Structure 1
Amino acid sequence: MKENETPMVFNASAARHPIPCPNFGLIINSFRAALRRFPSSGATLVFGVLTVVWLAAMTPCQALPEFSRQYGVGCQTCHSIAPRLNPVGLAFQANHFNWTGEGAPHQKSWRDALPVSNLDTVSVEHSATEHHTATNLDEVTFYLARGFRLGNGRPAGFFAETLAYSTQADGRSGDLGNAFVALPLAGRSGQLAVVAGQFTPLRYQYDPVNSLTDTLPLSLADDFNGFTFTDPVPGVRLDWFDGRGKGTADGNYLTVGVPFEGHLALNNDASVHRQHGVFAHAFHRRGYATVGAFGFTHAGQHLEGLLGTHELRDNLYVLGVAARGQDDSGSTQRLSGEVEYVFSPRLALTGRLEARQDAARGPEQGHAAVAAMTYYPFKRAIWRVTAETRQRAGDRALTLFVRAQF
């Protein structure tokens, strides 16, 4: 191992005490029955019914969600505070959900550890803009993921998330989020990999799945020519990581991808059309410190930027993004700065200030701010509570999210 590389060390202390995991058949059947009875207005009651069913259906297993069950480890093995990744989790992700360091735990079989997780989200949102408060069962999402190895032990893996239920305007049962397979293409440890399916473009440096805030940085998330760097997009890409197979996330990364128009889904909204430009992303990682550049171009329109992260001191993290682009309506400039402090595996605070300036003024012009508190009320990381406020022209709201994750 090179000097300054962050080793991937397995800590089995979090796996000593069994944690309940669910009987999936009983849960799904009971939840479907509840949704038929309370299709919209009974969101809170449905969530309560689901929780009772989960608790009643639990049987002993080592940990959760699916990766914890597969390897018999606790959440803190890969997370500083879930879903935020620590160095072990970052290396696990960079190796397509495979353990590659010394002392790696044994991966259980499909039969012994079902590679499925569930995330249920209830929100209470007060909109200061519309003077309205709404309570919703936002989403019921299922995740299917597993790492595996091909010839010469080179890492590969797949990941899929699908909506089972949603009350969101942009969500429908059967919609897919990230849904991809990663396969080694070249290199002794699969340093060059091909990824096909639906994915977020900046995944190894900034993955929205691991964000503690529901509102993502506008420098990455705001639409540009029908493309964003935070929304899963169908396509094919080549990933190069020179540290793959070394038990660390440290090293150099290069991604070149071809996105397509449309969206993958398990319903009749599924459609994939022609190529929609090209994106590229390159960065260097050393621990939590990263510095990188990204860009997207399509039909002469382009957006490019810089992205960096750093750990200022123990558990205090910063993120900065600067981007600029040019499209048919003129130029755009975007800035985002975020500070996040993790007090413990159960409590974290996040603050973000942002600005956007467009040649063609619109509702997205001006400044924005996001502040959030993430809290796990119980030692077992099943319930996650997030209080989040966002302030932006035309969108001022305070939201309380309650998530149950299994």
Structure 2
Amino acid sequence: MRLHRYAMLTFEVPVPRVETWGYTTSEGVDVAINNVQGADATRRPDDAGMTFVTPRKAPTSEPTQILLHAEIETRFDVVDSLQIRLPNEPREAAERALSEMASIIGVLGETQWTLTSPRPYLIVSAESEEEAAVVRATKRIILPGWKPAPPFHGQGLGRAIDLAHVLSDRLDGVTLLGAALRAGHGIPKLHELFRVLENGFGCAGGSLVGPLTSFLQSYPGWNLGYSRSEVRDWVVELRHPSTHADLTKSQRIAYDSDVERHLYRIEQAAYDVFFNKRSWNSSSTGRLMRWTFDAAVRADGSWIVGPAPIFRTSLVNDHFGTFPLTEAWQLNTDHLSEDWLAADWYFSEADRRALGMD
């Protein structure tokens, strides 16, 4: 069976022309530009392409959107007569391929870009008659359950706060946290968030794990579930392969798809450290409570909500936490043959009853 993973690459600055092309990664993933909107494009004669629908008619001045497609062989498990489940490894390889190709295109286009998941973003196709029989009978590819969109941490602009006066000892932290928010997603955001944490504690790498863990665990009243192992994973499994490319501290290089699902908790930690750490640029773990969360997210993804639960929520990621999800971008799957199946998450009432989802 073949797994097809799609992602939408959006250039902030329109590009005049896009040549469709593709290649095979070292992991055996076929990745290619599938379709283009907002730029003149050529199409390979053997590529029919997957069309996509915009939320509204986009004027020519709006950014260029490029639909990327990664394809790889996958196994599958039959859960019951109506449902199948896919293993993680092939999908993760496809997502790394999408991140890699987006970076290549970004370098060629020399402009800022974002990578998001459309609806649907995962499709399988049968390669044999036996697989085709399974696909035709299947109503649902099981996806992980939704996690609520995480709340924003900032207090908003409803009241003025003179940060230069209140936090005069950590104005570098203001600039660094602002850079993290401006970075948006992925490796650039992770890099800037770690600069906030390192600046706050005056240390980096393994030396940061102990004091940062102790500080985060001291948040009063709420058990946010921070553990030493989680914080160590941020440093060893995320920061090292995201920051160092000489393959000495880490034997791999991280991609955006590796870090995206962890960014919210790290950003939450950075806000707590920035506002509430008593002594800046010091390994001490003393705490002041200048600022409290209106809502926060535990390690399992659940929320804790304060006494006045009025807050904004940020963009939700896809089911696997890999890329931000933009449901307004919809793939047109009407032309797919019955040997192809999309992993959608909206079902008719009849299908929901048959699947036992009600």
Q: Scaled by the length of structure 2, what TM-score is found?
A: 0.24
User: Which is richer in strand?
Assistant: 1
Which protein shows a greater Rg? Answer: 2
Greater RCO (Cα-Cα under 8 Å, separation 6 or more): 2
User: Which is richer in helix?
Assistant: 2
Q: Scaled by the length of structure 1, what TM-score is found?
A: 0.22
